Amino acid sequence: MNHVLTASQFSRKELLDIFLVAEEMEKILQKGKSELAKGKILATLFYEPSTRTRLSFETAMLRLGGGVISETDVTYSSQTKGEILADTIRIVANCADIISLRSRTAGDAEKASEASSVPIINAGDGAGEHPTQSLLDLFTIQKHFRLGDEPLRVTFVGDLKYGRTVHSLATMIRNFENIKISFVAPQEVQIPEKYLMKGDTVQTELTDEVLKQSDIVYATRIQKERFEDGILYEQVKDAFVLDIQKVSLMRENAILLHPLPRVNEITLGVDALPQAKYFEQARNGIPIRMALITQLLGLV
C-alpha cells in the first residue's frame, strides 16, 4: 500500500490485516504510547473544517512517538496566493514522511498522490470519498457482528448524494458477503447510481419496518456546505430525525452509527440508548489511523 485514496483499493484481506494491526494499536493506547514512529513526521493539510479526523490523525502520530506539522486553514496556505495543490504537496513532501489531506474537491487526493514522493492519505475530498472514516466504521461494525459470516442489513440514511463517508463505506463493506444495503434519502440527495448494486434497496421514507429490520443504521448529516441552492437545503435538512422513539424501534443489539458531526439528525436523548455507538465509532479512529500510518511507513 503506497497511498490511501479510495475505499475501492482495499481487498477483504487487506481490511482484515488493518483491523489486526489496529487491535495491536489499541494495546499500545492502553499502555500509553510507543516509539514505533520516532523521528517520523506527519503533515496534516486540512483545507476543509474538521475536528475528529485531523485530531485523531495527529493523536495517532503522537501516540506512535512521531511528530506533526499542520496547515489547518487554507486562508494561511500559499494556495490562497494561487499555488496549485500539486506544488504544495511537492513542498510538504520535503518536510514530512506522510501526508493526511482534506480537500474541497473530489479527486484531489489522487492528484496529490501523483505529485507526492511520500504516502498520501485521503482524509476526505469534497463530496468524493473518506476512506479512513470507512475503515473505522467497518472496524466498529466488526466489533459488534461477525462481518461476512452472519447476514447483515445496513441502512444508510440522510445525505447520500454528498455524504462521502457513505460513498466509501458502501463500497468497502461489499468486500464481505451477506450484506444487504438500503439507501434511504430524499430524492434530491439520493445515492448516486455509481454506488448502487443489484439487490440494493432505494427508498425515500424511513419506515418503522426498516428500522426494525436493520442491524446497522448509518445516519448522516445533510451537508449544508455542498448545496448551491439554499432553498433546497431548507427543504431536506430535517428530512429524517432519529429520536428516542424511532431508535427504540431498532433491536437492542442493532447499532446506530454516524460519522459525526451531527446536527439535528440524532436527538441528544438517543445517546443513552444501547444502540447508540457513534462515540465509540469516533474513538476507533485513533487505532485505525495508527495502523495506517505504521503500514504506510513500513513500520509493522
Toward ligand CP, which CB reaches closer, 151 or 261? 261
**Which entry of 54, 102, 167, 246 is annotated as an active-site residue?**
102
Q: How far is the CB of 231 from ligand CP (least distance, A)?
A: 25
Closest CB to ligand CP among residues 236, 260: 260
What does each C-alpha distance from 245 to 30, 212, 236, 239, 242 come to in angstroms?
A: 36, 12, 21, 16, 8
Q: How far apart are CA 261 and CA 264, in angstroms?
A: 10
Please, which of residues 99-138 interact with ligand CP by CB under 6 A? 124, 130, 133
Q: Is residue 50 a contact residue for ligand CP (CB under 6 A)?
A: yes
Q: Is 63 a catalytic residue?
A: no
Cβ closer to ligand CP: 185 or 282? 282
**Residue 5, number of CB atoms within 10 A of its CB:** 22
Using an 8 Å Cβ cutoff, are 8 and 171 in contact? Answer: yes
In the complex, what is the shortest distance from the CB of residue 130 to ligand CP, in angstroms, rounded to a whole number? Answer: 6
Rule CB under 6 A: is residue 51 a binding residue for ligand CP? yes
- For residue 137, give the C-alpha cell: 466504521
The alpha helices in 116-229, defined as continuous H runs, are 131-144, 164-172, 208-213
Of the candidates 3, 40, 44, 52, the residue annotated as catalytic is 52
For ligand CP, how many residues bind (rule: CB under 6 A)?
Answer: 10
Alpha-carbon distance of 196 to 218, in angstroms, equals 16
Residue 132 · residue 164 · CB < 8 Å: no
Give the binding range for ligand CP (CB under 6 A) out of 46-54, 70-78, 208-216, 239-247.
Answer: 46-54
Which residues are tagged catalytic?
A: 52-53, 81, 102, 130
In the complex, the residues that contact ligand CP under the rule CB under 6 A are 50-53, 124, 130, 133, 259-261
